[in-house]
Structure 1
Amino acid sequence: MMTKQEAADAVCGARVERGVTWAQLAEAVGRPVVWTTAAVLGQHPMSAAEAEAAASALELGQDVVKALQLQPTRGALGAAVPVDPTVYRLYEVLQVYGPTIKELIHEEFGDGIMSAINFRLDVKRVPDPEGDRVEIVLNGKFLPYQW
């Protein structure tokens, strides 16, 4: 049986080979682009219909369809400290600003956390005269600690 990582590799290869964008794949699956990308990269299980749509759009087989439906091991990176420059920079942002974000959440909401389960994410390009900027919006439900 194919693993989620092997399915992710197959999807990524087929996507590039066929010139399919993440947005086009998401449209075929019928889900938001961020969710679809995370799902095929192994972070969410897809329904049978979603997995079939993704595989069909990329001309992939039933082994991929089955693997895309498996339960993931979320947040599993290959190393404790990411080495990919883009992922590392996000890690660096959280190292620098994580304590500040935590303090501001506690000041605004009280004792609790931002959910990563009831969560939305958006990534977009923002034109800027000094060079385009990346805007990342993390939108998670506040979950108060209950003692």
Structure 2
Amino acid sequence: MMDKTTMTKEILIAKEDKGLSWEAIAQAIGMSPEWTTSACLGMNSMPADKAAALCKCLDLSGDVAAALEKFPLKTWEQAVPTDPLVYRIYEIVGVYGTTIKELIHEKFGDGIMSAIDFTMDIQKKEDPKGDRVVITLDGKFLPYKSW
């Protein structure tokens, strides 16, 4: 059975070969670009129907679909903070960091988001199912320079 690392490599090759954006792939399977990218990078599992649709869109094998359906092992190598709130923010970056990076590069090019020319906004959004935390990170895009 194919592992998540091999699955991701095959998806990225097919995405590039077809010249498709994450937005276009997500639209083809009826999901958000953020979630679709995260699943393709191995950090979420896909339901069978979405995995099949993605493989059809990218002309990939059933082995890729099976790997997309597998539950991921969400681990990374850094020391983990112990404060529960800080840990959850750390978990978000650990799980979705590569997704954020991939989508920023696709939309802006090769570069980074500044943490110097940067603002953050935290809001409370009332919800009958439980209040929500809304965090907005707003950083200037800094392209890498060539010389």
TM range (shorter): 0.5 to 0.7
- Any idea what SS the aligned residue of 1:113 has? helix
1:113 to 85, 93, 109: 85
Taking only aligned residues, the RMSD between alpha carbons, in angstroms, comes to 3.7
Q: Distance in 1 between matches of 2:68 and 2:15?
A: 15
Change (3 A) 1:41 1:138: farther
Q: 2: CA distance between counterparts of 1:138 and 1:52?
A: 38
Verify: 1:52 aligned to 2:48, yes or no: no
Q: Partners of 2:42 and 2:50 in 1: how far apart?
A: 14
- Structure-1-length-normalised TM-score: 0.56
2: CA distance between counterparts of 1:71 and 1:22?
Answer: 21
How far residue 5 of structure 1 moved from its aligned partner, in angstroms, is: 1.1
Q: 1:138 to 1:23 in 2, by over 3 A?
A: farther
CA apart distance, 1:57: 0.5
Equivalent residue pairs, number: 105
Q: Which of structure 1's runs of 4+ aligned residues deviate more than 3 A?
A: 114-117, 119-126, 132-139
1-structure distance, mates of 2:113, 2:26 = 20
- Opposite residue 113 of structure 1, the aligned amino acid is L
Q: Which runs of 5+ in 1 are unaligned?
A: 82-98, 100-110, 127-131, 143-147
**Residue 74 of structure 1: aligned partner:** 74
Instruction: Give CA deviations for 1:4-39 in whole Å, capped at 9, x if unaligned.
Output: 111111000000011111111111121111111010
Where does residue 42 of structure 1 map in the other structure? 42
Identity %: 28
